[in-house]
Amino acid sequence: MPFNIQKIRNDFPILSRKVNGYPLVYLDNAATSQKPQQVIDSIVDYYSNYNANIHRGVHTLSQEATDAYEGARQKIQTHFNAKEAYEIIFTAGTTHGINLVANGFSEILKKGDEIIVSAMEHHSNIVPWQMLCEKTGAILKVIPMNKEGVLIFSEYEKLLSEKTKLVFVNHISNALGTINPIAEIIEKARQVGAAVLVDGAQSCSHVKPDLQKLDVDFYVTSAHKMCGPTGVGILYMKEEWGNKLPPYQGGGEMIAEVTFEKTTYAGLPHKFEAGTPNICGVIAFGAAIDYLNAIGFEEIEKYENELLKYATQKLLEIEGLKIYGTGPEKTSVVSFNIEGIHPYDIGTIVDKLGIAVRTGHHCAQPIMDFYKIPGTVRASFAFYNTLEEVDALVNAVKKAKMMLS
């Protein structure tokens, strides 16, 4: 479809509401995106017309639900260009996917092995690996970043060795908006035989990763960042790893045969999908994928870059305002502070004017420690935001500064 911002905004019911008497300006998209009517309708349709449990049911409703559920898996396989549909494992979200992989590697790593994480990770891509190191005796190493919020690639190369077993890095930083050079990171890891996990929670609403081209081992993301529902996400896992790693949970669906003497496990993807899944969420995730592709990711990326450029320019006109994350490769996130003012106070005032931003460390406390700040104000833009909303943000921040100075 042609990129028509007003038509797109009309698809999102929540954008027409008011907050504190002002039109809602929603700029917290890095935390979660809003949902178009098409996705909402898919949820209502499932519960209204064919709600049933999936797989093995012979009745009509079960077959319809199974077809819709597995159809969504195939849509997601195509979207991300996974080689096989069974390499797409449905999870409760990005954090769940990361923990699933960490659990599997607890059976593989041994004392003295090394794993590498970047300095700009979300806590969900730090804590599970720390727990894994405590459990196995493996050593966690960190790729440092510079003041621009860009990973120092030469230092990453120095960390790699024959002891490196796994590298994990986010595709895009949730706190800074930095786009990391994951293709190059993966290529270097391959040279020492290390596997790579990429946290795509912040990237998949902005870009369309080609998983086969990247040759990544694991890629995780969440539907709710992509105009889909909360409580569902995917773990892409190369088939060779899917056959190697043990199950994360035991229960129904993930088994081939159960006796009291021995249980054998199902093949991919069911081996890692124990229990009744979020059927409705998966179907709605498929609807969200359809919606985003109908707009087109090239159009989305182009428009969001315009928003980023305009917002950066206008905010920097405010005296005393500093932006964190100023690298050349960046997506539509602006994290900033005003000298002498706590970010929480700014966020509270702009909320009174109907503007939703996020304040704090954004579950990336090591980044804030690096800059020696308590947190930032983060404005994160989506393709349904407008230049007029950027102006509203800038005016609100100016008012907050005047009130708090």
In the numeric block, the tokens 């009744």 are attached to 276
Residues with Cβ within 8 Å of 17's Cβ and at least 6 positions away in sequence, in order, are 24
Tell me which residue of 213, 208, 205 sits closest to 177, measured CA to CA. 205
Residues with Cβ within 8 Å of 390's Cβ and at least 6 positions away in sequence, in order, are 307, 310, 311, 314, 381
CB-count burial class (<10 Å; 0-12, 13-18, 19+) for 283: buried
Residue 199's alpha-carbon distances to 126, 170, 196, 259, 308, in angstroms, are 11, 4, 10, 38, 22
Whether residue 363 lies in the annotated active site: yes
* Beta carbons of 140 and 129 less than 8 angstroms apart: yes
Token pair of 110 as six digits: 């041994």
* Beta carbons of 12 and 35 less than 8 angstroms apart: yes
d(C-alpha 109, C-alpha 166), whole Å:
9
Instruction: Say which of 133, 227, 280, 363 is annotated catalytic.
Output: 363
Would you list the DSSP string of 161-201? -TTEEEEEEESB-TTT-BBP-HHHHHHHHHHTT-EEEEE-T
CA 242-247-248 angle, to 5 degrees, is 115
200 phi and psi, to 5 degrees?
Answer: -100, 20
In the numeric block, the tokens 């946290």 are attached to 199
Tell me which residue of 217, 14, 43 sits closest to 115, measured CA to CA. 217
User: What type of residue sits at position 8?
Assistant: I
d(C-alpha 102, C-alpha 162), whole Å:
20
- State the catalytic residues: 363
